[in-house]
Amino acid sequence: MKIIRKLFSSIALTLTLAIALSACGASNKPASSQTQAPTQSPAPATQTPAPAQNLVSANVEIKGTVDLVPHSELVNYVKDKLEAEGVTVTLVSTAADETTNERTEAGEVDFNFFQHFPYLSEWNEINGGHLVNAGDIHVEPISAYSDKYKTIAEIPADAKIAIPNNATNEYRALRILEIAGFLKLDDEASKNLKASVSNVKEYLKSIELVELDSATIIPTKDDFDVFITNVNKVLEAGIDSAVLFKEGEDSPYANIIAVRSDLAADKRAAVDKLVKALQSDDTRSYILEHYNGQVIPAQLSSAGSTTPPATAAQEISYPSAVDPKSVTNFKYGKIQIPGKGGALCGIPVYIAYEKGFFAAEGFDVELISADTETRKIGLNNGTIPVVNGDFQFFQSIENGVNVSVVEGLHKGCIKLLVKADSDIKTVADLKGKKIGIDEVGGTPHQVAALWLEKAGISADQAKKEVTFLPFEEGNLEVEALRSGDIDVAALWDPFASVQEASGDYRAIFDLATDPLFADHYCCFLYASNKWIEEKPEQVAALLRAYRAAEDWIARNPEEAVQIVIDGKYSSIDDQKELAIELVKHYAIPQFQDHGTAAYDIGGDVKYFAQQLYDIGYLTTNPEDFVKQAYYAADLSNQ
């Protein structure tokens, strides 16, 4: 595999790079402060501290340095509203650079808005800084662009791909290449969230990587088949290259408002009002509409920030894989967990069982078959401790079923298929059609219903705008589609993708890519509230086992799929490569993903609650629903 590193040394270019330096896009490693370092020990960047209480007096002015696009545009969007609240925002500069944090630390400005948390944390560590994150605002996804190709499928063998050469953004570039199926990174890259091409463990497709300084990628883009860079650089350059693939809103690199930890109380209260305005639903809608998906609102936890505590992962001791047959003494005894549904997306429970993660945590697990209603009943009375499920349980929670979301397992795994020659092209064509599902109230049914309702088509059978027909097996559903007894089949992977790959059927909806669902964890792990209340330490142990399984799958997708085949958990014997690609695209989290913006499960619960609330499927305010439905378990081994 050919790897090229380009070096530039002209004085003119060096000056250009210094001016263009930006932590959210083209940042190099943070430079050491030119001022004398403080004598006390360096303080790490911290999570969002508690907002100052309502201390804003009339006409408090806060000064800030921000990047031009989209940062200054967003601040200007909310300025008038803040004026009405007694806060005047003055932008001292719209050209943030490598000295911006220094000036913020020195008190020359009250806040800055140009960087992501990993950059700030590293700057604090190097410079002994005391800047903190006041709130996550938006993600500028690092994306793969091309002027030569329109889709990822068109990228040829030996494609020449430009990537940024600074550690953080190079990791982001390599990571989206990994997710897209071009390569695999080693464990060190995933652990440190930093990488270069030396961290590529395996190339899955023949490509030529060219490492460039971020500022030179767009000027030289015509030399490449694909170029990967930050969206703010694309917006500033005004180019309209095709986006082939990109990070989602779950990126851990959300752009933040940064302030000094000791900022005066009245000014900090004013900054908090700025953050609140930038995180408001109105501003989030503006971001989505104004930037056409190129800039994405950050996912938010209930605290308003996705930034994790620095020690979160270190406080949890996860189990190692063991031969489950070698364990004879189970601390917590025998339990039953549904795990024979046949869907590939059930892979976390299969691996937790087969690799002994359940056994290592003290459980003698029996995997059982159970339909949706059986799972609800078992969770409600405590005979089943945990189950996989999507948001189909949300209405049950609202109606009093004693269950809570405790984990996010993976992203999209359902497709809606039509015959290859069908006239059905979009959701609008489904009015009056018959849709096959596996069971009424099951996930494919709920997903299809939400998709229809958001498009203005009632999924209520009584209104007869669509008809749902349940089938006991996927083969029967596909046969009904082939014969014309139904018009659409809502199917789980891998069966859906296997049928699509045959060429006889075409997907009109993919849960993994549809804008309504993409970039959100839609498959959750639910726990019985009876267990949460009476056996919280056992719930924590189960979650550690699931997380260990997820991490193992993400690092070993090929072996994980082979285990699924050998155990006959899913019918994928002759579609192994397809199954491997599907598992890679499920975005199954690794250990380091937990507690980051990439894993805001409370945020995803709120997101889907909002969608269901908007179409009348839920009546509880989404903010209140999250408090009712989401349980953040303490997984520390205490």
> Is the pLDDT at 35 greater than 60, yes or no?
no
Q: Is the domain of 105 the same as that of 195? A: no
In a domain, 121, yes or no: yes
Residue-wise pLDDT tens digits, 400-456? 999 999 998 887 778 999 999 999 999 999 999 999 998 887 778 888 998 998 889
Q: Is the domain of 277 the same as that of 419? A: no
Q: Is the domain of 419 the same as that of 398? A: no
Q: Is the domain of 127 the same as that of 259? A: yes
In a domain, 466, yes or no: yes
In a domain, 218, yes or no: yes
Please report the sign of the dihedral spanned by the C-alpha atoms of residue 321, residue 325, residue 331, residue 337: positive
Q: Is the domain of 96 the same as that of 169? A: no
Q: Over the range 223-239, which residues count as b (16 or more CB within 10 Å of their CB) and which as e?
A: ebbbbbbbbbbbbbeee
Q: Is the domain of 468 the same as that of 427? A: yes
Residue-wise pLDDT tens digits, 287-308? 988 887 778 888 654 333 333 3
Q: Among 38-52, 174-188, 223-237, 602-616, which stretch is predicted with the lowest mean pLDDT?
A: 38-52
Domain boundary among 491, 510, 529: 510
Residue-wise pLDDT tens digits, 485-524? 999 999 987 788 888 888 999 999 988 778 777 777 778 9
Q: Is the domain of 214 the same as that of 240? A: yes
pLDDT of the residue at 28: 34
Q: Is the domain of 129 the same as that of 185? A: no
How many angstroms separate the Cα of 502 from the Cα of each of 355, 419, 575? 33, 11, 11
The domain containing residue 193 runs over which residues? Answer: 3-7+142-246
Please report the sign of the dihedral spanned by the C-alpha atoms of residue 147, residue 153, residue 158, residue 162: positive
Is residue 92 classed exposed, middle or buried when 0-12, 13-18 and 19+ CB atoms within 10 A define those classes? middle
In a domain, 637, yes or no: no
Q: Is the domain of 230 the same as that of 160? A: yes
Q: Is the domain of 447 the same as that of 473? A: yes
Is residue 562 classed exposed, middle or buried when 0-12, 13-18 and 19+ CB atoms within 10 A define those classes? middle
Q: Which of 524, 509, 537, 515 is nearest to 603 (CA)?
A: 524
In a domain, 568, yes or no: yes
Tell me the pLDDT of the chain averaged across its residues.
Answer: 83
Q: Any bridge partners for residue 637, and if so which?
A: none
In a domain, 230, yes or no: yes
Which DSSP category does 30 fall into?
Answer: P
- Count of structural domains, the chain: 4
What CATH number corresponds to the domain at position 363? 3.40.190.10
Cα(322)–Cα(128) distance, integer angstroms: 43
In a domain, 356, yes or no: yes
pTM of the model: 0.51
Q: Is the domain of 150 the same as that of 226? A: yes
Per-position DSSP letters for 297-340, written without gaps between them: EPP--TTS--PPPTTTGGG--PPPP--GGG----SSEEEEEE--
Whether residue 56 contacts residue 270, with contact meaning beta carbons closer than 8 Å, is answered with yes
Q: Is the domain of 573 the same as that of 480? A: no
